[in-house]
Amino acid sequence: MDPILSYELLRSFTTPVVAITAQRDGKANGMISDAATRASIVPDLPRLMILVHKFNYSHDMIFESGRFAVHALHRGQFDLIERLGFESGRDRDKLAGVPHRPGGLGCPILEDCWAWFECRVINLMDTGSSTCFLGDVVELGRGPGKEILTPGYMRANLPERWRETYLTKLAAAQAWARERSGDVKPVIWRGPGT
């Protein structure tokens, strides 16, 4: 199989660019992802799935708290992509200076986004290098953003000043995931602390 063709074809299945936030033990964090998707067609039972790599600080926060918020970003939020996507929350408070408030479950809700969804984890699946979290949406809302940010738009309009950093971080994440993707373990979700 041609890995370049495989990657290019699979990229068409990505979701909007999102910021995922979590809170645990009084510490809040945020990250950037393009792996969040609707997991229900029932209007009164909204659900989302997110895929979070295990190397992300947010991964353990979500796993241990059983809560997360997903924010679909708008096209004017490239600065937030750099802020939440290029460093680890282990090293600094990535949400410092980013306007947000606590949601009903305690997750940080970003004031500026296209839409937001606060979720309670109801199940998960190990993928080796990441965890797929299934969440019941308990609160949601619209933000002020007009046009949703897609990965294609992001790549086409990537600011030149951080293109090299983006590509370096992407290659490192791909290498890390390649090493661990075969190590899938069955997990039974029993709630926070499992």
pLDDT 10s digits, 125-149: 999 999 999 999 999 999 999 999 9
Q: Are 135 and 68 in contact (CB under 8 A)?
A: yes
pLDDT of residue 194: 59
Does 163 map to a domain? yes
Instruction: Quickly count helices (H) and strands (E) in the chain.
Output: 5, 9
Q: Report the domain count for the chain.
A: 1
Query: What CATH code is carried by the domain that includes residue 140?
Result: 2.30.110.10
User: Does 2 fall in a domain?
Assistant: no
pLDDT digits (tens, 9 = 90+) for 146-155: 999 999 899 8
Query: Per-residue pLDDT for 3 more than 80?
Result: no
* Domain coverage including residue 137: 14-180
- Asked, for residue 186, whether it belongs to a domain, the answer is no
